[in-house]
């Protein structure tokens, strides 16, 4: 056997502090897995500690959940081939019409999403897509601004989970559309930057059906003894690749039957 560098187990407290400070100070860091090893459970534990610290120190609160890497486009773009989830904080919400100050972030990218709102609790394991579909009361066009704290957005599955799945800002159209009469698999999605179409997709880009993503979330949360409460806002994950943004950019997502949402970057 040849000599190899055996990676050390991660220091959870130190990693939490590093991620907290990187986000606060807009400083990029190297991925932890370059030098240490940790499993998915530990990664979600770091994410939770990080968000708890942000809630305490920034006087904000948790307002929802987000899914990531639920589309083939995103999995390919990031070279991570499994969905992940993260937590949405009130202080990261960009209201409709509010400008996004790009300079408050490290290297932001924006991606087109669909947000859903539940009206019934979902507790895994064993939540089916049909149960998830019935729990989705409303849907709206949405956009997520991701800002990995890792240099060049280079990370492994556990790194990105620990970093609260690159969550930075999120925008959700204020008009909620009842989902009962909308087939979220077949709605067309058009993503535009400065009036040019950047990419297109259908709702089915999200694990075949956004309801599948919500079921996945409920079942994944169950692994950590958690569940989705009724009345939860969930970002279902990007439908196409994320794109870099700069001051002056105007980004629009249009989802058939749900409407559109514009984000102005300053
Ligand atoms: C990870 C977060 C992915 C999505 O919607 O797929 C995500 C990243 O790409 O940095 O939020
Ligand atoms: Mg996203």
Distance, CA 8 to ligand 2 centroid (Å)?
30
- pLDDT tens profile 192-208: 999 999 999 999 999 99
Average pLDDT, the chain: 96
Residues 137-163 have a mean pLDDT of 98
pLDDT band at 5 (very low <50, low <70, confident <90, very high): low
Ligand nearest, relative to CA of residue 73? 1
Cα dist from 46 to 12, 42, 50, whole Å: 6, 6, 6
Q: Atom 10 of ligand 1 has which residue's CA nearest to it?
A: 166
Q: Atom 7 of ligand 1 has which residue's CA nearest to it?
A: 68
Q: What is the pTM of this model?
A: 0.97
Distance, CA 171 to ligand 1 centroid (Å)?
15
Q: What's the N-to-C CA distance of the chain in angstroms?
A: 56
Q: How far apart are CA 131 and CA 216, in angstroms?
A: 11
Q: If you ran DSSP here, which 8-state letter would residue 41 be given?
A: H
Residue 119 predicted with pLDDT over 80: yes
For CA atoms 158, 106, 12, 216, the dihedral sign is: negative
Ligand nearest, relative to CA of residue 154? 1
Residues 120-137 have a mean pLDDT of 98
SS3 content of the chain, % helix, strand, coil (to 5): 30, 30, 35
Question: Which residues contact ligand 1 via a Cβ below 6 A?
Answer: 68-69, 74, 78, 111, 144, 146, 148, 153, 160, 165-166, 237-238, 242
Ligand 1 atom nearest to 155, measured from its CA? 10
Report the candidate in 153, 147, 148, 156 with the shortest Cα–Cα distance to residue 34.
156
> Ligand 1 test: best mutation among 47, 65, 68, most atoms within 8 Å of CB?
68
pLDDT at 95: 96
- pLDDT tens profile 158-188: 999 999 999 999 999 999 999 999 999 999 9
Ligand 1 atom nearest to 69, measured from its CA? 6
Residue 4 predicted with pLDDT over 80: no
Q: Atom 9 of ligand 1 has which residue's CA nearest to it?
A: 78
Residues 73-91 have a mean pLDDT of 97
Distance, CA 4 to ligand 1 centroid (Å)?
32
| H-run or E-run covering 181 | none
- pLDDT tens profile 38-63: 999 999 999 999 999 999 999 999 99
Distance, CA 228 to ligand 1 centroid (Å)?
20
Residues in the chain: 266
Q: Atom 4 of ligand 1 has which residue's CA nearest to it?
A: 68
Residue 3 predicted with pLDDT over 50: no
> Ligand 1 test: best mutation among 112, 242, 243, 245, most atoms within 8 Å of CB?
242
pLDDT band at 2 (very low <50, low <70, confident <90, very high): very low
Residues facing 139 on adjacent strands: 116, 177
CB 105 within 8 A of CB 149: no
Tell me which of 74 and 3 has the higher pLDDT: 74
């Amino acid at each position: 056997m040849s000599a190899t560098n055996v990676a050390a187990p991660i220091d959870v407290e130190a990693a939490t502090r590093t991620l907290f400070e990187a986000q606060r100070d807009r400083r990029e860091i190297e991925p932890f897995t370059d030098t240490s090893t940790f499993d998915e459970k530990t990664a979600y534990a770091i994410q939770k500690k990080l968000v708890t610290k942000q809630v305490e120190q920034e006087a904000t609160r948790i307002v929802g959940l987000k899914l990531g890497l639920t589309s083939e486009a995103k999995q390919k773009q990031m070279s991570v081939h499994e969905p992940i989830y993260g937590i949405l904080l009130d202080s990261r919400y960009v209201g409709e019409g509010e400008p996004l100050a790009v300079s408050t972030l490290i290297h932001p990218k924006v991606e087109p999403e669909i947000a859903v709102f539940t009206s019934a609790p979902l507790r895994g394991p064993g939540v089916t897509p049909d149960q998830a579909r019935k729990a989705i009361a409303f849907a709206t066009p949405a956009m997520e601004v991701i800002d990995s704290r890792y240099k060049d957005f280079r990370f492994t599955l556990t790194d990105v989970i620990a970093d609260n799945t690159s969550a930075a800002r999120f925008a959700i159209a204020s008009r909620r559309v009842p989902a009962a009469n909308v087939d979220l698999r077949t709605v067309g999605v058009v993503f535009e930057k400065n009036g040019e179409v950047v990419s297109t997709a259908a709702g089915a880009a999200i694990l075949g059906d956004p309801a599948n993503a919500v079921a996945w979330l409920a079942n994944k949360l169950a692994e950590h003894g958690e569940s989705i409460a009724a009345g939860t806002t969930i970002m279902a994950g990007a439908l196409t690749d994320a794109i870099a943004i700069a001051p002056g950019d105007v980004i629009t997502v249009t989802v058939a039957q749900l409407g559109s949402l514009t984000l102005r970057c300053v």
